[in-house]
Structure 1
């Protein structure tokens, strides 16, 4: 896979943006509310499946090796394999799948972007919640009440803001990455 300087710069920029938006957080329990998914889904919409996922892989890798890029300036392997690690790892799959849906549709209309992003949310919630259940020995319904339900209203606004950013930045970036 050959990657251009522009593609590399954009992937690095979205990895850095994920690190920054992770710090804008409200610790409400075992899973904090943060803004990282704005970067995940905006990367998917602007960079496409492959580079959107690569940007989030770089973000996860930075945290796994100990850089304090996760919420609350956390980092290290335990952050990735701990109770909330499934949500962090799911950023990669969410960016890939959302980007793939957008690419395959050939459109960046609001309905396509919304469908792609909500598919990414499902991946994040499913993988993250199952991981949380496994690590904490919590039942699925109880985990949903702690790890999903409180986040749904905010995730609606993150989805709307991600769509807004994609629509505004796509013409400006005039991406030939996808």
Structure 2
């Protein structure tokens, strides 16, 4: 792995941390810009480096650095109500990056982002449902439904700006 690739992965891990701090509390799951950064990491860096950037982000947070929402950190967040969302970030970055590498079509790339978003929602919803004593209906209404429209908009924004960022990164 080249030094440039490691640096770019670190930059996108840092951007995800910044996105986490743009936070509006909505119950156990806050509204943040992490998902936008997850999509950007995959779309700009590709599957391998996008995934690495999100793994770095999770490791930094698990080690206690305040990179998660509301300047928090620690392994407890991985096991807490939002842990499923966090653990899905590398998978979503991989999927959006994979689609970005395999297709030139904006629709294909958007499909990759939306598939990644589905993974984030599924893992997050299941973890939140377990945390809520197996109340998966409540978990859906707290942790998925309020975010769908905004996260689709984030995917569209990521798609639009990723090409410009790619040109700068190259």
- TM > 0.5: yes
- In structure 2, the partner of 1:101 is 99
- In structure 2, the partner of 1:148 is 144
- In structure 2, the partner of 1:121 is 117
> TM-score when scaled to structure 2?
0.96
The number of residues matched between the two structures is: 170
- In structure 2, the partner of 1:136 is 132
Query: Could you list the per-position Cα deviations for residues 96-137 of structure 1 after superposition, in whole angstroms to 9, with x for gaps in the alignment?
Result: 1121122233x2x32112101000100000011111112321
- In structure 1, the partner of 2:43 is 45
2:29 to 16, 28, 31: 31
> TM-score when scaled to structure 1?
0.91
CA–CA separation in structure 2 for the residues paired with 1:85 and 1:99:
22
CA–CA separation in structure 2 for the residues paired with 1:122 and 1:157:
14
Q: List runs of 5+ in structure 1 lacking aligned partners.
A: none
Q: Secondary structure at the match of 2:28?
A: coil
CA–CA separation in structure 1 for the residues paired with 2:152 and 2:131:
27
CA–CA separation in structure 2 for the residues paired with 1:26 and 1:169:
26
Q: Secondary structure at the match of 2:119?
A: helix
Task: Single out whichever of 30-39 and 163-172 deviates more from structure 2.
Answer: 163-172
Q: List runs of 5+ in structure 2 lacking aligned partners.
A: none
